[in-house]
Amino acid sequence: MTDTPASPDLERTDPVRVLLLEDDTPLRERFARILEDWPGGELVAACATLDETLALLRQQPVDLLMTDLNLPDGHGIEAIHLLSKLYPNADAMVISVLADDETVLAAIEAGAVGYLLKDADPFELVESIEELRAGGSPISSSIARILVRRMTAPPPSPSGPPLTPRETEILRGIAKGFTYAELAEWLSISRQTVPVHIKNIYRKLAANNRSEAVYEASRRGLIRL
């Protein structure tokens, strides 16, 4: 099948098998030219539709998928999903104009490791591919901002009535399944004092028992998981 079955995996001398998916013909041909000129890889095919791509993926292995997202017959994320499923070691790079949070996050979660906006120039494209093959994630800065926001946003709901430090400690203990006696010994207080704190926790969390309190507390981000 292949020409050089020699070198194992020490040096990636094998050409990278690239599959391109882009429905816009002028753009596809432009990208195809760039990829054909790239010495590091071999353009397996340049598809215009999702179906075509899915069929091709099933027929032959691919190392790198360069794909658009909004396609006439579906969503590029499907191609990424299939790629990840069939060839887990392959990489997927998105080249799209879509930059809304939902789309970007869906693509990343589907397995895309690169994400370029379509205004990227040819040099940037080739450079990005090489970065990607080197283990990096070339991502346009406006796209990267979405990822950063997602990672720093997480304080979901520091809202609600505040818990005293003592109550927070008790709450952690409750989550770990401690009984009155265990909580009392753990905090070095009387066994009879524990239920008082717990009752206050219930009131503040609008809970009526331990499991509901744990549920509410973790939902409100009051305790770590």
Phi, psi of 224 (to 5 degrees): -80, 155
Length of the chain: 225
**Site residues, DNA (CB under 7 A):** 164-167, 178-181, 187-193, 195-200, 202, 208-210
| Least Å from the CB of residue 176 to DNA | 11
Q: Specify the residue, 48 or 91, whose C-beta has the smaller distance to its own copies.
A: 91
Beta strands in 48-99 (DSSP E): 64-67, 70-71, 74-75, 91-96
| Least Å from the CB of residue 158 to DNA | 17
Tally of helices (H runs) and strands (E runs) in the chain: 10, 7
Q: Specify the residue, 141 or 188, whose C-beta has the smaller distance to its own copies.
A: 141
| Least Å from the CB of residue 202 to DNA | 5
Phi, psi of 105 (to 5 degrees): -65, -35
Residue with tokens 């760039």: 34
Residue 150 interaction partner, one of DNA, its own copies, none, beta carbon < 5-8 Å per kind: its own copies
**Site residues, its own copies (CB under 8 A):** 105, 108-109, 111, 113, 128, 131-132, 134-142, 144-145, 147-148, 150-152, 174-177, 179, 207-215, 218-219, 225
Q: Which two tokens stand for residue 222?
A: 């009051």
Q: How far apart are CA 126 and CA 182, in angstroms?
A: 62
Q: Specify the residue, 49 or 137, whose C-beta has the smaller distance to its own copies.
A: 137
Q: Specify the residue, 142 or 209, whose C-beta has the smaller distance to DNA.
A: 209
Residue 139 interaction partner, one of DNA, its own copies, none, beta carbon < 5-8 Å per kind: its own copies
Q: How far apart are CA 30 and CA 47, in angstroms?
A: 13
